[in-house]
Amino acid sequence: MSNAALQSVPLSRGAPLADAAPLSAGAIAILDRARQQAAEAALGYAGGISPQDAWTLFSNGHAVLLDVRTAEERKFVGYVPDSLHVAWATGTSMTRNPRFVREVEAKLGKDRVVLLLCRSGKRSVDAAEALTKAGYTQAFNVLEGFEGDLDAQQRRGALGGWRHHGLPWLQD
């Protein structure tokens, strides 16, 4: 999609499309950079976005943040305020949600910029690929996820992730 076409796509954070603001030059630059890197790496989705850039897009109403973690992860680990939730997988065996795409389609149009967030940025890649196959042209993975990768002590939170970067989040 061209920059001009991107500017005309109305987007907002969980609000009806009619209330969305046009993309800023900064938002277009973030998305274009991610798309270019995705094309170079032959990814099956629009690209990867850093947590900081994801917050910039989301907080300025240029994208929807879709948390694909389980309901339990959101409740006990934390979540981003105003993010949407559709679990990619559920249960302790992490069984893939067969209704994932349909549930997203019920919440979001296929023209939206969708930023997918999971624990470490891996499940959200699968979710972004599934949405892309279903016709979403702007499905981006939030790199590092909510908690980041495991450190040498097998703990999360010290090596990247939404929380590590001090971005807004809440916990029940």
Domain spans of the chain, in order of start: 3-142
Residue 79 pairs with which residues in a beta bridge?
170
Q: What is the pLDDT of residues 55-109, one digit of tens each?
A: 999 999 999 999 999 999 999 999 999 999 999 998 778 899 999 999 999 999 9
Superfamily in which the 3-142 domain is placed by CATH: Rhodanese-like domain (3.40.250.10)
What pTM was estimated for this model as a whole?
0.85
Instruction: Give the whole-angstrom CA distance, residue 130 versus residue 10.
Output: 23
Q: How confident is the model over 107-130, as pLDDT tens digits? A: 999 999 999 999 888 999 999 999
Q: What is the pLDDT of residues 5-48, one digit of tens each?
A: 333 333 333 333 334 568 999 999 999 999 999 999 999 999 99
Sign of the four-CA dihedral 20, 2, 33, 114: positive
Q: Rounded distance, CA 63 to CA 112, Å? A: 7
From CA 58, how far away is CA 14, in angstroms rounded?
A: 10
Where in 8-118 does DSSP place strands (E)? 47-49, 64-67, 84-85, 89-90, 95-96, 114-117
